[in-house]
Structure 1
Amino acid sequence: MVAPERRSYRLGRAPGGVPLLGHALPLFRTPLDYLPGLRHEGDLVRLRIGTSTAYMACTHDVVQEVLHNPRTFDKGGEFIDTMKLLLGDGVGTCPAAKHRRQRRFIQPAFQRDRLDHYCRLMHDEVTALAGSWQPGGVIDAGTEMSRLTTRVTARMMFSADIASDAVAAVQRNFPVVWKGVYRRMVIPLPLLHALPTPANIRFTRALRRLDDVIDRMLTAYRRDTADRDDLLTVLLAARDEHTGRGMTDTEIHDELMTVLAAGVETPASGLTWAFHLLGENPDVERKLLAEVDSVLGGRPARATDLPALPYTQRVVAEALRLYPPVWFITRRAVTDTWLAGHPVPAGSSIVFSPYALHRDPTVFREPERFDPDRWLPENACELPRNATITFGGGSRKCLGDVLANQEVTLALASITAAWRLRPLPGHRIRPVAKAELTTGPLPMTTEARA
């Protein structure tokens, strides 16, 4: 191991550790207060999770060093290890040695013509959702946005006539599985999760049903090889460029689960936070409504409207900066190495938090303020490259980042063209750090716009 050129990065020690548990209590009880404060301890901060040592990358430069060295800092650590319960070895969780091959298999599903098709699905589903609301009704915004994105993602995966039951099954079971994955993330005790408790039984049954849906659709598609405009068809047609072999059923299963997890929670969370922030910032809402009315005139948005909705896109970018759905990321050092000029032993967990990074006052002026205009070209150019890592970075950056931004923008514009979602007086929210960053319950009144 050869030490790199020394740089002026500080190695600190996290405060608040206790015997046996280390820093697990503040990490899991109050992470959104605890993690941003670690930047005051150093650029790289050593902490303990139980009896294991981990290193928190606290500053932009150190995080980028991790993201751009994926073979040294590979997918792994507590978060990724738990996510593999659901995602297996999909493109989001597989080791670096497999990633390029997996990415090539799935990349055709995110080409421009297919993005346009997925945006049409969003158009159809958001029209149906908004049409189901009643003036003066009260909805839970998070539940409604998750219902929307689950249906869009399931229809992206399966478009065959036989898929209606599959879409409904995904919508019923995915929320149960996602909740169970988070529970296993914060309480990493396998024996506890093997007990026949009601929550464990619900998780096991829901996961089995999701597996059954994918297996059933795989069997049907292999039997009927019609050319359909969906993700499963793309994966079945994919071939290894060197061997000519296709993907196994297990590989396809893992990629579908990966797309499901990313396609539901990221846009649903982004939309929910956007509506909350608009309700809290009437000046921003007025500007957004003026743009939406000028461009759409009351109709739902289409992909062709995106260039004419720059302010709406800035609102989305700022909502995702303040409240990135993936708030905590882990990697594992695969060899003895150096990070931020300090030695890191093989096997160490490397952790970093987009939520904390996006609130760094040395990068963002008034980081707690909701300011869509910080993303105007003349302002954004002052920020470091990859200042936000909502969708990761380097070669492991999420393949669906463009699609997620487009979906959230189109849904936000379409809904606000017809409705104002008003916060209930007196209801206050506090960000809830689960498997994704949520608002918790967010009741809002549906106010029809003439």
Structure 2
Amino acid sequence: MPVPVAPRRWPLLGHTPAMLTQRAKFTDALHEHGDVVRLDLGPLHAYFVTSPALTHEVLVSQGSKFRKGAMFDKFQPYLGTGLLLSNGEFHLRQRRLMQPAFHRERIESYASTMARAASSLAARWQPGETRTIENDMQELAVTIVGETLFSTEIGHRAVEEVRRSIFTVIQQGMIRALSPSFVEKLPLPGNREFDAAIARMKAVVLQVIEAWRADSTDHGDVLSMLLLAGMTDEQTYDEVLTLLTAGIETTAIALAWALYEVGSNPEIEHRLHTELDQVLGPRPVTYADVDKLVYTGQIVQETLRHYPIWFVMRRTLTEVQLGEATLPPGAEVIISPHALHHDERYFPSPQRFQPERWTPSFLAGLPRGAFVPFGGGNRQCLGNTFAHTEIVITLATIAKQWRLTPTRPARVKFTSAPYPNGLLMKAVPRN
């Protein structure tokens, strides 16, 4: 059967104007037109998958028939062939080499770094002051990922450069991904900022690798593990930049929004504080507490549902049957975690923030593919447990000491995900 075409298509530009101006509002409504809907991004035809069942087929059951899509092609000249962008046997090899860095015992050792960094940040706050929470959470996420990647002094200098540059890379990169190729060659301020940020980060990461080669000591960080596994400098750089890019954005956004939602909802805040007092008492949070903090974990789940990445792309390697749609080889396929997570067929009242929805029975009743904050299949984010642990520990550490109250309604800047924009919150000590 012919695949229905999405509304709001412009001549020549296709659906790109609707994607750039309406963002998730446009893509969240596409399920009304079918399980597979055609989008035209300029001259590029793409197929937007709206159902959980077909999402699961793309990511898992038919995952071997797909590779990374056009959006990732735009990033590859700058981010190389790290785990996020590589394909085929090379991707599987790199994934196997990196898996030990995210085993349970490693994450348990990282947990102390997470707690220490969160506690250090919270200790700098003053009673009654107003904090820009997304800036604090970006700083914290960069610090945590940076210190678990690089434990040496030169590594700390690399973290400072990453803090300066990483969000320019992420935000300008998404604009490039949605724009025709000629746009990235224009002398626009955003292009110059992106190119300069990439050059700075590459230079400082390669300095860290060079210093490690001269030392050859296992410092217990991810960089040591990658180099001891036999990766070349270029491969190591690609994987480090991938970890920095993927490991910072999602976590920083989730932390900022989680704190905002807790501070905006007195009942949620009360339940969170009650759990923290009962489980932790006067002591700091540890890795062993993560599974015990059940309601805290539900807040994290609901945050990942409510504020996920906008979309990802895949490309067919062969002819693929998705429901009633037959896609040819080389077809671009779009999956939107945001659209899936805001589909009221699976998440009643999707615009409401409801941590209590995440009961074991609710989770068991969700169809496969309905909740994909970290993707799925052999492309599932390798750092998903790292990220969940980091968010729980940080949320517990801050909420144990402070109440954060919004001083104005949230503002959203939508790029690759719904970014908080000027999330101002007043810090009030709990005790």
Q: Give the TM-score band, short-chain normalised.
A: over 0.9
Task: Find 1:131's aligned residue among 123, 132, 147.
Answer: 123
Task: Find 1:372's aligned residue among 343, 355, 362.
Answer: 355
Amino acid at match of 1:185: A
Q: 1:351 to 1:135 in 2, by over 3 A?
A: same
Match of 2:185 in 1: 194
Task: Find 1:29's aligned residue among 3, 13, 21.
Answer: 21
- Are residue 407 (structure 1) and residue 399 (structure 2) matched? no
The answer (yes or no) to whether the contact 2:41–2:178 under 8 Å persists in 1 is no
Task: Find 1:93's aligned residue among 85, 93, 96.
Answer: 85
Superposition map of 1:323-334 within 5 A: 323-324=307-308, 326-334=309-317
Amino acid at match of 2:351: E
Amino acid at match of 2:299: V
Task: Find 1:381's aligned residue among 342, 361, 364.
Answer: 364
Secondary structure at 1:332 match in 2 = strand
User: How many angstroms does 1:316 deviate by?
Assistant: 0.4
Query: For residues 23-72 of structure 1, what are the alpha-carbon distances to aligned partners after superposition, in whole Å with 9 as ceiling and x for unaligned?
Result: 11111211211111110100111121112211000010111111122331
Q: Name structure 1 gaps, 5 residues minimum.
A: 1-8, 239-245
Query: For residues 268-295 of structure 1, what are the alpha-carbon distances to aligned partners after superposition, in whole Å with 9 as ceiling and x for unaligned?
Result: 1111111121123221111011111222
The whole-number CA distance in structure 2 between the counterparts of 1:274 and 1:130 is 16
The answer (yes or no) to whether the contact 2:42–2:180 under 8 Å persists in 1 is no
Q: Could you tell me the TM-score, scaled by structure 2's length?
A: 0.95
The whole-number CA distance in structure 2 between the counterparts of 1:449 and 1:135 is 10
Secondary structure at 1:178 match in 2 = helix
Query: What percent of counterpart residues are identical?
Result: 37
The answer (yes or no) to whether the contact 1:86–1:257 under 8 Å persists in 2 is no
- Are residue 176 (structure 1) and residue 168 (structure 2) matched? yes
Secondary structure at 1:48 match in 2 = strand
Q: 1:58 to 1:120 in 2, by over 3 A?
A: same
The whole-number CA distance in structure 1 between the counterparts of 2:148 and 2:361 is 36
The whole-number CA distance in structure 1 between the counterparts of 2:368 and 2:194 is 40
- Are residue 147 (structure 1) and residue 139 (structure 2) matched? yes
- Are residue 207 (structure 1) and residue 184 (structure 2) matched? no
- Are residue 113 (structure 1) and residue 105 (structure 2) matched? yes
User: How many angstroms does 1:434 deviate by?
Assistant: 0.9
Q: 1:355 to 1:215 in 2, by over 3 A?
A: same
Secondary structure at 1:381 match in 2 = helix
User: How many angstroms does 1:196 deviate by?
Assistant: 4.3
The whole-number CA distance in structure 2 between the counterparts of 1:10 and 1:292 is 54
Task: Find 1:74's aligned residue among 67, 90, 94.
Answer: 67
Aligned residues: 430
Query: For residues 77-125 of structure 1, what are the alpha-carbon distances to aligned partners after superposition, in whole Å with 9 as ceiling and x for unaligned?
Result: 2x21233244211111111332211101111110112101211111111
Amino acid at match of 2:270: R
- Are residue 19 (structure 1) and residue 11 (structure 2) matched? yes
The answer (yes or no) to whether the contact 1:31–1:433 under 8 Å persists in 2 is yes
User: How many angstroms does 1:11 deviate by?
Assistant: 4.0
The answer (yes or no) to whether the contact 2:296–2:392 under 8 Å persists in 1 is yes
The answer (yes or no) to whether the contact 1:10–1:43 under 8 Å persists in 2 is no
Amino acid at match of 1:357: L
The whole-number CA distance in structure 2 between the counterparts of 1:140 and 1:322 is 21
User: How many angstroms does 1:369 deviate by?
Assistant: 2.2
Superposition map of 1:409-428 within 5 A: 409-424=392-407, 427-428=408-409
- Are residue 62 (structure 1) and residue 54 (structure 2) matched? yes
The whole-number CA distance in structure 2 between the counterparts of 1:415 and 1:85 is 39
The whole-number CA distance in structure 2 between the counterparts of 1:115 and 1:275 is 23
Secondary structure at 1:350 match in 2 = strand
Secondary structure at 2:10 match in 1 = coil
User: How many angstroms does 1:267 deviate by?
Assistant: 0.9
- Are residue 229 (structure 1) and residue 220 (structure 2) matched? yes
Match of 2:281 in 1: 297
The whole-number CA distance in structure 2 between the counterparts of 1:230 and 1:363 is 40
Secondary structure at 1:13 match in 2 = coil
Q: Name structure 2 gaps, 5 residues minimum.
A: none
Superposition RMSD in Å: 1.8
